[in-house]
Amino acid sequence: MTLAVRYTSARTLGTAPAAACEPGPGEVELAPAYVGICGTDLHIFHGDMDARVAAPAVLGHEMAGRIVRVGPGVEGWRPGDAVTVMPLRWDDTCPACRAGHQHICQHLDFIGIDSPGAMQQRWTVPASTLIRLPGTLPLDQAALVEPTAVAVHDVGRAAVKDGEKVVVVGGGPVGILIALVARAAGAEVRVVELNAHRRLLAEELGLSTWDPATADITALVQRWTGEAGADVAFEVSGAAGGVDTAVDVLGVRGRLCLVAIHPRPREINLHRFFWRELSLVGARLYDRGDFERAVTLVADGTIPAQRLITKIVPLTEAPAAFEALESGGDVMKILVDCTDDTRGAAV
C-alpha cells in the first residue's frame, strides 16, 4: 500500500493508504517526488469546486518524479526516467479538438481535478502525458515546470515582443513566472503587488515592483512609458481592482491577457476598450510546446525555481501546508515531498 492525500469535503484533507494501480496498455506508473500546491488546489480545498471534483479526490498536478513501471505497448520510456506530466486528457472528437485546440477540449479531463492527481506515492497516467526531464535538473525544481508552462502560454497568447512594456498585476507564483518569461522575451516588466514579501522576492529576482496601496499605478505607467501606456497587461490578481488597473494602464491598441480565474462576473470599462482599441485575450492551460519550453527555462536557470520554493513538507503534512498557503503572508510556493522519506525540509 502507498499513501495519498485526499480531499473529502470543504476544508477537509486527510492522508490515507491507497492501492497502487498496475499500468494498463499505454499507461505508466510513476513515483511522484515533489508536488506543488497551486491556487486551483486551494479553490478545491475551500469547497468552491465541489460541483466538478468527485470526493474523495487525490489532488495535485504540478509534479516531477520517476517512472516505476510501463504498461503494454508503451515505447520510448523505461523505469527510472525523470518526468513531469502535462495533466490533460482530451477526447480528440469535439469541435475544439478538431480545430487543433486539444488543451481546451470541450470535454477535457484535467488530471488532478477531474481525475486522481499526483499527491500520492504511486500514480498511474497515460504515457502520452509524459514530458521528459533532463537528468541534471533536480526534481524539486522540476515541480515548477507546470506553472512555468502556464506562464509560457500566457506570454505567447499576449504575443509579447522584444522591447514592449508589460505590467503584471498580481505577484504570486504565476505572476512572477509570467514576469520572468516576459523578461526573457525581451520585454520591460513591472509587477504590481500588495504583499511586501512577494514584492521583495520579485525585486531580488531583478524585477521592478509597485505597491498599489501607496502609489497611483496609472500615473507611474504614464511616466514610465512617456505617456504612451503599457503595451501589455496581465491580470493575475483575481480581484476587481486588479481588472481596473490592468485596463487603465494600457495604451492605444494595448493587449489585456486575463490569467486569473475570477469566481464571479466583473465590471469592466468597455469605453476604454472602444476609445483605445484595446484587445482582451483569455489564457488557459498550455500545450506540449509550452511545456517543453518551460523545461528549458527551468533547466537553464532563466526561471530560478529554487528561489520560488518557500518550503518542502512531507506528504503527511500536506493538510497543514494548505492552511499555511491559505493564510498568505510570507509563503510563495510549497512543495509536498511524496517520496518514502517523510522527513521533509525547509529550503
Question: Which residues belong to the active site?
Answer: 40, 43
CA 216, 217, 222, 223 torsion: positive or negative? positive
CA terminus-to-terminus distance, the chain: 29
CA 302, 308, 312, 315 torsion: positive or negative? negative
Residue 245's H or E segment, with its range, is helix 240-248
Is residue 117 exposed (0-12), middle (13-18) or buried (19+ Cβ within 10 Å)? buried
Cα three-residue angle 175-177-182, rounded to 5 degrees: 95
CB atoms within 10 A of CB 311: 15
Contact 292, 84 (CB under 8 A): no
Which residue has cell 480528440?
A: 92
d(CA 200, CA 197): 5
Cα three-residue angle 107-113-119, rounded to 5 degrees: 145
